[in-house]
C-alpha cells in the first residue's frame, strides 16, 4: 500500500506560487505516483482561518487530487491553542465548524486491508474547548476498539513529541500535558508511524517501533528554526509504504517544483507584516 502525506500548502484565492506548486504536485501524484491514499496534515489555507475565499479556493484545488483524500486541520485553518497564539489567531468553535464544512471532520479513523489510519485535530489539544473533550472521548473509544496486530498510522498537524528545548513565543508542538495523555492512550495499539507538518521541514526519527515523520511543506521554506536537528529543508512530500507489518516513509521531491521561501511570495510577506502589526 502506498500512502502520500502532503502538508502546509498555504493556498490563497489570489493564486501565485503556492497555487502553482500545488497544481504541479497534484499532476505529479495523479500521473506518476498514483497513491492509494493521500493525507493532508494541515495549514491548507495561506494564513488566516477566517478567509472564506481562501478556504473555497483551497477546497477546489484539493479536488484536483484523484486519490482518496483525508485532512486534518492546521493552525492557519482553524487557529491554535494557547495564550500566545500566532497573530492572535486562537482556535474557536466557529473556525473549526467552517473548516469541517469544507474539508470534513478534524478527527477520523480510516481502515484499509493493510493498516488503520487515524487523524487527530492537534489544534484542539490544550484548548479547553468542549470540542477538545469530545475529541478525547473519541480517541479513548476508538483506540480501545482497534483490532490487535494491525499497524496504525497517526496523522496530526503539530509534532507529537517535543520539538526543541529552547523557549518559543507560540506553540510548536502539542505540549507536554496533551502529549503524555495521548502517548498513554497510544500504548494500547501497534503504532507504527506518526506523521505531522507545521515545521516546513522533513525529518524521520525512530521511536521504538514507531517512526516519527515531519512532512515538508509544498508552499515555501519557513525562516528561522535553524536549531532543529536532522531536518531537511526542501519542499516536497512523504511517501509511506505498508507491506505486512512493515511501515516505511521516505522524502520525495516534486519534479520541477521551485524551492522558494516567504521572500518569493510577496503576498504572504505583506500579510504576515499586516497581521502581526495589528496584534
What DSSP assignment string belongs to 110-127?
EE-SS-EEEE--GGGTTS
pTM, two decimal places: 0.96
Burial 219-238 (b: 16+ CB within 10 A, else e): bbbeeebeebeebebebbbb
pLDDT in tens, 32-75: 999 999 999 999 999 999 999 999 999 999 999 999 999 999 99
Q: For the chain, how many structural domains are there in total?
A: 1
Residue 155: per-residue pLDDT: 99
pLDDT tens, residue by residue, 71-112: 999 999 999 998 889 889 999 999 999 999 999 999 999 999
- Contact present, 158 and 122 (Cβ < 8 Å): yes
The length of the chain in residues reads 279
Q: Is the pLDDT of residue 22 over 60?
A: yes
Report residue 137 as a C-alpha cell.
472521548
Whether the CB-CB separation of 103 and 74 falls below 8 Å is answered with no
The domain containing residue 91 runs over which residues?
A: 2-278
The CATH number of residue 59's host domain is 3.60.21.10
pLDDT of residue 200 exceeding 80, the answer is yes
- Pick from 86, 85, 33, 69: which is nearest to 236 by CA? 33
Amino acid at each position: 500500500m502506498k500512502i502520500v502525506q502532503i502538508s502546509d500548502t498555504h493556498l490563497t484565492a489570489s493564486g501565485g506560487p503556492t497555487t502553482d506548486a500545488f497544481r504541479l504536485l497534484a499532476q505529479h501524484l495523479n500521473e506518476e505516483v498514483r497513491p492509494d491514499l493521500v493525507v493532508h496534515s494541515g495549514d491548507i489555507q495561506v494564513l488566516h482561518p477566517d478567509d472564506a475565499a481562501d478556504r473555497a479556493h483551497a477546497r477546489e484545488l484539493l479536488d484536483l487530487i484523484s486519490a482518496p483524500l483525508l485532512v486534518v486541520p492546521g493552525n492557519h485553518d482553524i487557529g491554535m491553542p494557547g495564550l500566545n497564539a500566532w497573530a492572535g489567531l486562537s482556535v474557536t468553535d466557529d473556525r473549526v465548524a467552517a473548516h469541517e464544512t469544507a474539508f470534513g471532520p478534524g478527527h477520523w479513523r480510516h481502515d484499509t486491508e493493510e493498516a488503520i489510519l487515524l487523524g487527530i485535530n492537534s489544534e484542539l489539544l490544550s484548548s479547553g474547548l468542549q470540542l477538545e473533550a469530545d475529541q478525547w472521548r473519541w480517541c479513548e473509544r476508538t483506540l480501545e476498539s482497534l483490532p490487535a496486530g494491525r499497524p496504525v498510522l497517526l496523522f496530526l498537524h503539530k509534532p507529537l513529541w517535543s520539538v526543541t528545548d529552547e523557549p518559543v513565543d507560540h506553540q510548536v508542538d502539542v505540549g507536554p500535558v496533551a502529549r503524555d495523555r495521548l502517548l498513554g492512550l497510544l500504548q494500547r495499539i501497534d503504532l507504527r508511524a506518526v506523521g505531522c507538518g507545521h515545521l516546513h521541514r522533513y525529518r524521520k526519527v525512530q521511536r521504538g517501533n514507531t517512526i516519527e515523520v515531519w512532512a515538508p511543506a509544498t508552499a515555501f521554506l519557513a525562516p528561522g528554526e535553524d536549531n532543529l536537528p536532522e531536518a531537511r529543508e526542501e519542499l516536497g512530500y512523504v511517501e509511506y509504504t505498508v507491506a505486512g507489518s512493515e511501515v516505511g516513509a521516505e522524502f520525495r521531491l516534486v519534479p520541477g517544483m521551485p524551492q522558494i521561501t516567504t521572500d518569493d511570495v510577496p503576498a504572504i510577506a505583506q500579510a504576515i507584516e499586516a497581521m502581526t502589526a495589528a496584534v
